[in-house]
């Protein structure tokens, strides 16, 4: 059974299952639940050049079939990460994919440069961040802006570059293409969907930040459609995220065209789920007589 999957030149991972950014911090807490070396890759919490404190509490609320978070990209900053967190992760021998962001173009470029170091297997660029200079408009919104940003980041680092797309755009395929033309080696689809919750008793928003991002099973059908659409449009590998909680979910995304999957919110509920998802994929392949993960990718039967 061949579980390896290719994400970029020089980035072939042992199996297609990784954690999603932001629900796993820097791996330390989860290492008490299972052996991190079983993962195809570890993805870090989104990092910025400077440490970030995040949004006011409360920052998480459960919804039917999901959750809304407004963490606000709290993180320790790239320098503390490379000093204090990266050595721990490297100890597991698993490729470390570093998720990063900036609040302006220059910060993205600086971050990519600072992360172009030994022990980082690839960069995952979060483009769903408000751009301070452009009045809070997300970077990832228009294909032209995204193309420019990815072009600059591409020039700043030598690592495989994964661009994580926001679903909140007019035509996600146009954004996907813009990122690939600018040099993205792979794409992650999708980030959270803007959402809010209100407490009618207090008559106030539940989240300190008022709005946040919806994740979990509620967004899975949206993510599935996007992964199917994007993977048919671009020739680079697509990594799926959005409501993946089981091997069945993972297989569905791979049938739709994903080369790998990320488990996010589901792991907050069940931190032991990763080995179960991996073994479940193996069992599915065996049952179907498929000998390699790559033969599953995009093999949905249509028509
Ligand atoms: C608490 C929380 C924090 C997150 N932080 C980040 C982040 O720092 N960077 C990022 O690109 N995505 C972040 N995400 C988005 C997830 O990586 C993922 O794209 C999204 O939650 C959909 O997957 P899921 O339904 O499996 O959670 C975060 C999600 C959650 C729930």
Class of residue 115 by CB neighbours under 10 A (exposed 0-12, middle 13-18, buried 19+): buried
For residue 191, the CA-to-ligand 1 centroid distance in Å is 6
Q: What is each CA distance from 169 to 131, 135, 140, 176, 253, in whole angstroms?
A: 15, 17, 8, 11, 21
The verdict on the CB of residue 159 being under 6 Å from ligand 1 is: no
Burial 129-141 (b: 16+ CB within 10 A, else e): bebeeeeeebbbb
Give the distance from CA 161 to its chain's centroid.
12
164 phi-psi bin (left φ>0, alpha ψ -120 to 50, beta other):
beta
Q: Atom 6 in ligand 1: which residue has the minimum CA distance?
A: 22
For ligand 1, pick from 21, 59, 193 the residue to mutate: most ligand atoms within 8 Å of CB. 21
pLDDT in tens, the chain (303 residues): 999 999 999 999 999 999 999 999 999 999 999 999 999 999 999 999 999 999 999 999 999 999 999 999 999 999 999 999 999 999 999 999 999 999 999 999 999 999 999 999 999 999 987 665 666 667 788 999 999 999 999 999 999 999 999 999 999 999 999 999 999 999 999 999 999 999 999 999 999 999 999 999 999 999 999 999 999 999 999 999 999 999 999 999 999 999 999 999 999 999 999 999 999 999 999 999 999 999 999 999 998
129 given a catalytic annotation? yes
The domain segmentation of the chain, as residue ranges, is 5-54+72-192+216-296
For residue 192, the CA-to-ligand 1 centroid distance in Å is 6
Q: What are phi and psi of 179, to 5 degrees?
A: -70, -40
CB 265 within 8 A of CB 215: yes
For residue 37, the CA-to-ligand 1 centroid distance in Å is 21
The verdict on the CB of residue 44 being under 6 Å from ligand 1 is: no
Q: What are phi and psi of 259, to 5 degrees?
A: -85, -20
The closest of 111, 183, 160 to 259, measured between CA atoms, is 160
Helix axes 247-256, 220-233, angle to 10 degrees: 30
The verdict on the CB of residue 177 being under 6 Å from ligand 1 is: no
CATH topology of domain 5-54+72-192+216-296: TIM Barrel (3.20.20)
């Amino acid at each position: 059974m061949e579980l390896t999957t290719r994400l970029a030149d020089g980035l072939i991972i042992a199996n297609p299952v990784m954690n999603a950014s932001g629900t796993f911090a820097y791996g330390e807490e989860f290492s008490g639940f299972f052996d991190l070396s079983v993962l195809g890759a570890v993805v870090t919490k989104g990092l910025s050049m400077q440490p970030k404190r995040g949004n006011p509490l409360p920052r998480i609320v459960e919804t039917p079939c999901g959750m809304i978070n407004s963490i606000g990209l709290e993180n320790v900053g790239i320098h503390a990460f490379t000093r204090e967190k990266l050595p721990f992760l490297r100890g597991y021998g698993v490729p470390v994919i570093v998720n990063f962001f900036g609040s302006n173009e220059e910060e993205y470029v600086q971050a990519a440069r600072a992360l172009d170091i030994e022990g980082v297997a690839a960069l995952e660029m979060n483009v769903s961040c408000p751009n301070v200079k452009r009045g809070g408009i997300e970077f990832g919104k228009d294909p032209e802006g995204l193309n420019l940003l990815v072009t600059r980041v591409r020039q700043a680092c030598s690592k495989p570059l994964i661009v994580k797309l926001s679903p909140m755009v007019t035509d996600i395929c146009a954004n996907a293409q813009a990122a690939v033309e600018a040099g993205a080696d792979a794409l992650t689809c999708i980030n959270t969907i803007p959402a809010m919750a209100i407490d009618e008793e207090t008559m106030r928003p539940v989240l300190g930040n008022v709005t946040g991002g919806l994740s979990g099973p509620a967004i899975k059908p949206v993510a599935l459609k996007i992964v199917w659409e994007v993977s048919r449009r671009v020739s680079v590998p697509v990594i799926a995220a959005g409501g993946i909680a089981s091997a069945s979910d993972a297989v569905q995304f791979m049938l739709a065209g994903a080369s790998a999957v990320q488990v996010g919110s589901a792991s907050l509920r069940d931190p032991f789920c990763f080995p179960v998802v991996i073994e479940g994929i193996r069992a599915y392949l065996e049952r179907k007589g498929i000998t390699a993960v790559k033969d599953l990718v995009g093999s949905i039967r249509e028509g």
